[in-house]
Amino acid sequence: MSQVPHHDGDHASTRPPAGLAVLPVLVVAVVAFVDNTGGAGTIWLPLLAAGPALAATTNGPRGVLCVGLLATVLGAALGTDQQVPTCELVAVLSALLAVTAASTLAGGLRRRRERVLAAVRSVAEAAQHALLQPVPETVGPFQVAVRYSAAAAEARIGGDLYALVPTPHGVRLIVGDVRGKGLPAVETAALVLGVFREAAYDEPDLLAVVSRIERSLARNLGPDDFVTAVVAGCPGPGRLEVVNCGHAPPLLISADGEVTAVETAHPAPPLGLRALSGQLPHLQHLPFTEGEQLLLYTDGVTEARDHAREFYPLAEGVARHVSEDPARTLTELHDELLTHVGGRLHDDAALLLLRRSATDTDGRAAHPCPAEVVL
């Protein structure tokens, strides 16, 4: 399963399909055929201008010029054959040449914009790869799957984030959502992941990991910025720790498919706002045995609406599609989510599913291979 969206940085991906390049020629041919068959003189000849005008959206400047010259030659031939008055024919041909010139210029400007867009895409993709490492499918006794969908087709990076790190203290993971959009959100997401990666390995206490992220954000965020996040860890066989900082509650899935929201009795503010509220995060201890799964997600999933403005029922969807293969579960869940919204999400959506498949080890790693994603 693809864990992150793939985009082709080549500017050719922005061009129309190759078959559309011949459409302007077909338009010119049809107009010429109709005019020649009907013998209507100047009634149909002005429509030849549709050829170069359409070519401006499907071809480069050279293609537009060729279509325009073809239309002009055919117009001159048909006008002469049908004995169109000279003044009328000159007016039609002049209009064809003017449209051709304008369309050639428009085609050149469009091609230039395509090249600029390709360059911007390449920079964004390089930034994404600099921050991105694929999440492994297996980590010790755990199976892992992730799924991300961008609301915009051209999206590369954003404020949704997730990471999984095997450490001497067990597997640790985070899913979060940065307030805001654009490069400031990406910068904050990168900061959170960087601090999490170091702290998760160094700190034996999960609350200490959260505190280090909080201190870093307090120094770097503006007064109105914050990050909602869930930080979880598996410190030993059959054990699960969860710290929720203003984020949607994770879903705990039992071995028999029962889905339970991991609500906290002591709500904590989002990361970056602790100084304003004075509330401290609470560490929840839960059993996590063989066959059980933990789903973390961002609000782009639960706030997805259908045509009737109904939210997507995530817990019910998980119960319908849960299986022993996390990748399969998320694929089916994601397909149902897209069906629910009519094929296009209006916000980024991230899902991370962790399944305990064995009980002989606890996921500790002397030499971890961290995996992190910024979306």
CB burial of 6-18 (b: ≥16 within 10 Å; e: otherwise) equals ebebebeebbeee
Domain-embedded: residue 4? no
pLDDT at res. 372: 45
Residues 193 and 287 in one domain: yes
* 142: CB partners within 8 A, 6+ apart: 171, 234, 354, 355, 356, 357, 363
Task: State how far the Cα of 34 lies from the Cα of 330, in Å rounded to an integer.
Answer: 55
Task: State how far the Cα of 49 lies from the Cα of 61, in Å rounded to an integer.
Answer: 16
Residues 110 and 235 in one domain: no
Q: Average per-residue pLDDT in the chain?
A: 83
Among residues 127, 143, 161, the one where a domain terminates is 127
Segment 261-278 shows an average pLDDT of 88
Q: What is the CATH number of the domain that holds 190?
A: 3.60.40.10
pLDDT at res. 7: 40
Residues 63 and 151 in one domain: no
pLDDT at res. 46: 85
Task: State how far the Cα of 197 lies from the Cα of 209, in Å rounded to an integer.
Answer: 9
Domain-embedded: residue 212? yes
Which residues span the domain enclosing 17? 11-127
Residues 159 and 123 in one domain: no
Among residues 92, 127, 162, the one where a domain terminates is 127
Decide if 159 contacts 181 (C-beta within 8 A).
yes
Domain-embedded: residue 2? no
Highest averaged pLDDT of the listed ranges 25-29, 114-118, 202-206, 265-269: 202-206
Residues 159 and 190 in one domain: yes
Residues 106 and 39 in one domain: yes
Task: State how far the Cα of 319 lies from the Cα of 203, in Å rounded to an integer.
Answer: 35
Q: Other CB atoms closer than 10 Å to residue 153's CB: what's the count?
A: 8
pLDDT band at 95 (very low <50, low <70, confident <90, very high): confident
Residues 114 and 139 in one domain: no
In this structure, what are the phi and psi dihedrals at residue 245, rounded to the nearest 5 degrees? -115, 80
Residues 50 and 115 in one domain: yes
Among residues 127, 149, 173, the one where a domain terminates is 127
Residues 184 and 267 in one domain: yes
Q: Other CB atoms closer than 10 Å to residue 24's CB: what's the count?
A: 27
- Burial class for 95, CB neighbours closer than 10 Å (0-12, 13-18, 19+): middle
Kindly report, residue by residue over 313-368, the tens digit of the pLDDT.
999 999 999 999 999 999 999 999 999 998 888 888 889 999 998 654 455 544 44
pLDDT at res. 255: 93
Q: Other CB atoms closer than 10 Å to residue 293's CB: what's the count?
A: 26
Q: Other CB atoms closer than 10 Å to residue 141's CB: what's the count?
A: 18
Domain count, the chain: 2
DSSP 8-state secondary structure symbol assigned to residue 182 = H
Domain-embedded: residue 5? no
Where residue 40 falls (left for φ over 0; alpha for ψ -120 to 50; beta otherwise) is alpha
Residues 96 and 188 in one domain: no
Domain-embedded: residue 6? no
pLDDT band at 36 (very low <50, low <70, confident <90, very high): confident
Domain-embedded: residue 38? yes
Domain-embedded: residue 89? yes
Residues 90 and 162 in one domain: no
Decide if 314 contacts 300 (C-beta within 8 A).
no
- Residue 2, pLDDT above cutoff 50: no
Task: State how far the Cα of 188 lies from the Cα of 375, in Å rounded to an integer.
Answer: 11
Residues 66 and 100 in one domain: yes
- Indicate the SS3 state at residue 8: coil
- Residue 105, pLDDT above cutoff 50: yes
Of residues 375 and 222, more confidently modeled: 222
pLDDT at res. 157: 61
